[in-house]
Amino acid sequence: MKSSAKAILWIALYLLMIFAPLIIILIGPRPAGREFWREFAVALGFIGLSLMGLQFVPTARLPFLCCVFPMDTVYFLHHATSVASLAFVLAHPMILLLSNPFIAQFLNPATTPWRVLSGVIAAGVAFVLVASSVLRKDFRFIYEPWRLTHGILSVAALALSLIHIFSVNHYTAMPLQRALWIVLPLLWLTLIVYARGIKPALMLKKPYELKEVRQERSGSWTLAVEPVGHPGLTFKPGQFAWLAVQRSPFDVRQHPFSFSSSAERKGWIEFTIKELGDFTRTVKDIPAGVRLYIDGPYGTFGPDFHPAPGYVLLAGGVGATPIMSILRTLADRNDKTPIIFFYGNPTWDDVIYREEIEELQQRLNLKVVHVLEHPHKDWQGEKGFISAAVLEYHLPEDKARWQYFMCGPLPMIRNVEPALQKAGVSLERVHSERYEMA
């Protein structure tokens, strides 16, 4: 089955699971004597709960889904639908309160029955869960404890919501609706068991050893690892993986990084990491010989997934990591497909892999366009940012047939995507890998 057909199938199944409670309400028997607004509020609550539970799908990093959808798209959907689920969940009590102000008496925890109080607490937990995620960077929450808290709050919100709907027992008294709300939590539980139990157990059997930590420019470091007691994984250039360094794979503290080594070099894997956060600042101090575990590969970024008569690669700073994997792999394959690489950096000294990029121009049909924000006085190349003018000047005449791969921080991607459009490139041919997925 083609990937587009698989994508349509999975999207249809996802939507079916979200709206299944509403469909059952519409086609099945309903409790008698209930006014429209109460029914409407119940329907929104059910949709919000099913949507909330399905957030475990993207976070489980299921391989058969990750080969169909780009991971940054999956995580963007996860973020957007989390906010949507909260809106549905909060709409449920708000509509009930507006349609019947008498319900306000249930806001007193001392007198509220547990069947209602569990729902009120669940809504509060869901609000804290989503708000802490949306505002994580604004409030500078440390990623690792936030991620652990995020998981605990997710389970708590769902458990309290299920207690609420089964305790109220209006629609769940109906056999089909009750069956659905037994099957859906079992699905969510299965995803949790897979992500937190089965997958780490499989990773534990395939450890890796850190062979060297190599310093690069611009505060970046390359970790080179080898498999221990197994042949190692195979990946496509442009993909990434989650690393558990000096930790058990059962530890929730794992971090995503792109492969920077050639996919053709078997048994040797490299990741280039820049000092940008709490964990990445410690990379340079990790001693050789430590064990680590790799969960991957993931992603559909790169020429192996999107073949074309030519490739345009665009990167900013350490966003060149998956780009280097692509270039190294194509060089090892002796691939002569034309490539244009636009590489933006603050200064010439910040250009990671600078010497190797020059060498790769001798092995590949590669044109490199360096764009410097603060060039030195003798600089003869492009200045400023990767703009529509820069793109139009360097792109080939048959640019509409090429594929475009871009990796970098969100501000860069938000600026370059419209610049590509202005230069006459269809965004259907632009594939982005973003730093900030999680």
CATH 2.60.40.10 fits 208-298, yes or no: no
Q: What's the DSSP call for residue 233? A: -
Q: What is the mean pLDDT of residues 78-82?
A: 88
Query: Residue 213, class by beta-carbon neighbours within 10 Å (0-12 exposed, 13-18 middle, 19+ buried)?
Result: middle
pLDDT in the model for residue 436:
56
- Provide the pLDDT confidence category of residue 213 given band limits of 50, 70 and 90: very high
Fold classification of 3-203 is Four Helix Bundle (Hemerythrin (Met), subunit A) (1.20.120)
H helices within 370-409, ranges in order? 388-394
- Provide the pLDDT confidence category of residue 327 given band limits of 50, 70 and 90: very high
Rounded Cα distance, 146 and 371, in Å? 36
Q: What is the mean pLDDT of residues 179-204?
A: 93
The closest of 137, 135, 129 to 158, measured between CA atoms, is: 129
Query: Residue 398, class by beta-carbon neighbours within 10 Å (0-12 exposed, 13-18 middle, 19+ buried)?
Result: exposed
pLDDT digits (tens, 9 = 90+) for 63-77: 777 777 777 777 778
Residue with tokens 């989650």: 242
CB 194 within 8 A of CB 60: yes
Q: What's the DSSP call for residue 239? A: -
Rounded Cα distance, 273 and 319, in Å? 10
Q: Where are the domains of the chain?
A: 3-203, 208-298, 311-434
Q: What is the mean pLDDT of residues 337-350?
A: 95
pLDDT digits (tens, 9 = 90+) for 370-425: 999 999 888 999 999 999 999 999 999 999 999 999 998 888 999 999 999 999 99
Rounded Cα distance, 35 and 32, in Å? 9
pLDDT digits (tens, 9 = 90+) for 11-52: 888 888 889 888 888 887 666 666 778 888 888 999 999 999
The two structure tokens encoding residue 7: 């994508």
- Asked whether the domain spanning 311-434 has the same topology as the one spanning 3-203, the reply is no
pLDDT digits (tens, 9 = 90+) for 229-279: 999 999 999 999 999 998 899 987 788 899 999 999 999 999 999 988 778
The two structure tokens encoding residue 385: 């940012």
Query: pTM for this one?
Result: 0.85
Mean pLDDT for all residues in the chain:
89
Rounded Cα distance, 433 and 270, in Å? 18
* CATH no. for 311-434: 3.40.50.80
